[in-house]
Structure 1
Amino acid sequence: MGNCWSLQSGSPSGIPNSNNAHDPNNQSGSIQFSSGFSNAKLIQNGNSTSLGRSSHSGGTSRLFSNKFSTGNNTSSSLWSSDNSQASRLRDEEEFPNGQILDAANLRVFTFAELRAATKNFRTDSVLGEGGFGTVFQGLIKDTAASARGKELTIAIKKLNSESKQGIAEWQSEVNFLGRLSHPNLVKLLGFGREDSELFLVYEFMHRGSLDNHLFGRGSTVRPLSWDTRLKVMIGAARGLNFLHSLEKKIIYRDFKPSNILLDEAYTAKLSDFGLAKTGPSYDHSHVSTQVVGTHGYAAPEYIATGHLYVKSDVYGFGIVLMEMLTGKRIGDIKHLCEKKSLQDWLKLNLLNRGKMRMNMDVKLEGKYPPNLASKVAQLTLKCIQVEPKVRPSMKEVVETLEQIEAANEKPADNRKKTNHSRAVQLHGQPDGG
């Protein structure tokens, strides 16, 4: 949601025609999209610039087939006229390992409702600008039975009328997030359409983006502690792993700090599914598509060939790990590399104990366990390997980070035991007595 600009090449498929859009007053209605649409994106976000365009034929296809399943959950279609089960699932505590809802549970907001929520889209309610358009903070009445009458803080994306990219993103967000529920994916609450104006409505993320915490400045920016960084890394990894573990895998394709949002408890949630794409079928290792994404985070094989692998996301995750360790944007790290590869720079500066302290984020103030930071650096090196097949899966990444977190929690317990032992010894009692 940070500052960025967008340039569109090509023309994505048009807005769904009025025959497919339900009456805006129908709060439980559904909407049907065409099975293919294109994504075209050139974004500069901070020091990163995205690249490429997408053809019509290479667009994101319908997410779910007629019989899409994960585990014991099957779906007959993406959209259903009966949203009752989805409503119950959304109102209940989320499934910790994620869930595909049998029906999209999205509220159709009227323009009047969104205008009232933002006090006519006042400038002081603006949260940020993106390729899609402007993001506003708003307040609406909570429709959940347990909180009826209370106000709910929301984030509203309003399509820039001049942005063609936003139409495709609007469709992709609704198609993907409408039925995917996971603790580490941002909740899409609903959408709206008023003539040529398109809206997306999300849960509000109180801590903003990871990008702001890592690279932002000012009194409102709170540096992230080592423990919090570990929590954010694990949450983001779990979100990606969920997408990769579905029967019909989803490649996120634009993993970067500005797309990782944090709630009040610093739980990481992936946002912006405008470039997400269904992965290759069982008999293929990759999908071929025009290159879109953000420079620095896009995997080298994707940039060079247009071949998109599930493990292309793993590369992007490794780049973000590097940024979280160093506190530097990938563009700045590449500048420091001079003629070295990223892998060589990492080995020399983060896996070398003598140089690690000089290259870790100064905002950590040296408050991190060097042995565990080294383990994260080792994982980073595996993720950013040039060959996709030698990178770990996101499942392996999650498991490694969870092991590091478990080891991170032990020193505090050990210190308590050590202090207790010393106190006992001072009183003349044997250790452990």
Structure 2
Amino acid sequence: MGLEMILIIGAGDVGSNIAADLTETHDVTIIDRDPDRIDALATKIDVSGVVGDGRSIPVLQEAGIDKAEIVVASTDSDAANVMVCNAAKQVGDPSTIARVKDVGLYRTWQSLDSGLSVDTMLCIDVLAAEALTRTIALPGAQAADTFADGQVEVAEFEIGGDTPVTDQTVAEADRYASATFAAIFRDDNIIIPEGDTVIQSGDCVVVIGSLHSVSRFAEAVSSQPTLDTDDDVVIVGGDELGYQIAKQFEDRGWTPHIAERESDRETQPATRFTESSVAGPDSRNVEGFSLDRLANADLLVGAADDDTNYLLTQVAREYNVTKTAAIVNNPAIVELFEGAALDVVVHPEDIIAGEILQAVYGSDSENVSVLEHDDAEVLEIIVDNESVLAGTALRDISNHLPTGVVIGAILREGQLQVPRGNKIIQTGDRIIAFVDAEKAAEVAGLI
């Protein structure tokens, strides 16, 4: 039986990263108008490339649309992505996935019960807003996601020089009842922790467990206080992304203030909030920005363009704003933001990549989260009769799975099980697993 064929339209960062993740387990073809992009990608990974417009039926036919099981439309144009899905449905019967930025288009698609020939639509602004507020709610977290209908949390924390776990072995630090140390990111390397692995200052540790245990760990290792609902939250950028972030904060009980980029637009978002206020100064003009408001802020969220976000978060540091966060769209400068002492940096392309992979894995995975810019993934998978893990003790999983896999949580009949060596995995168990990104598709199929 041949490999499942995936057709990706758009060889940008998202499309290229998705292709790289899937080449080991799928037959991948990618379409892009730019021949240089196709050539560059084909020299790095085992993919077939077609130069052309993915909306063109002849181009889709050349790419083998009749054999494609899944079509991923990941260009920078919302309209083009919908048109690609339409064209694909006209000449084949693939499952179609489109990424979009326009929230209005996304809401329209939802109201049409998955219409427009798009089976799965992923909205960048909605997903980014959800990820940012979810991470901010957990003190000290650099990234956070929930699994198993909110029963399990996965979070990444940078370990400082004086935390309770600094310079301790994993065995010594293992005192959070239902939390597992799944991985350590150190100097661009992924370390799968053993009991004698020492947690060092500067490490980024991935913890998987119950919300209570992960919160206890967050409070122990973070020097930051929990953000209270009466704290002052300022969001820079009043366009759709800023609105989505403000809405997420309102839903969690905060009343954020929005600094709109263009004063003549300030009344537009104001009508969309129940409590939030909207300020009018041009956020690119630091002198004209409301410094009194900035000085009193407990959290500044950069939701404008990357340059504005960077500048104002640095000014916020000078004014001793307790916490700063930013959405960063350009992948080339994500590390610059992360090295600038911001508390939360959200890169939407990582989130979109995880959502696309979840849709591609289909029944093999209930949920997927991408960590460290696509270096690692967290999978939520239900063990079935064909799983290599059914009836296997956790201590023996290395006999059945590639290296670099850690079972971080097991849910059995709705109850969280502590994943320790003697635990036997059963059919029907819901498993949350940390996986090296290069092996994620293989692992999803095996489990």
Higher relative contact order, chain-length normalized (CA < 8 Å, sep 6+) = 1
TM category, shorter: under 0.3
- Report which of the two has the higher share of strand: 2
TM (norm. structure 1) is 0.21
TM (norm. structure 2) is 0.21
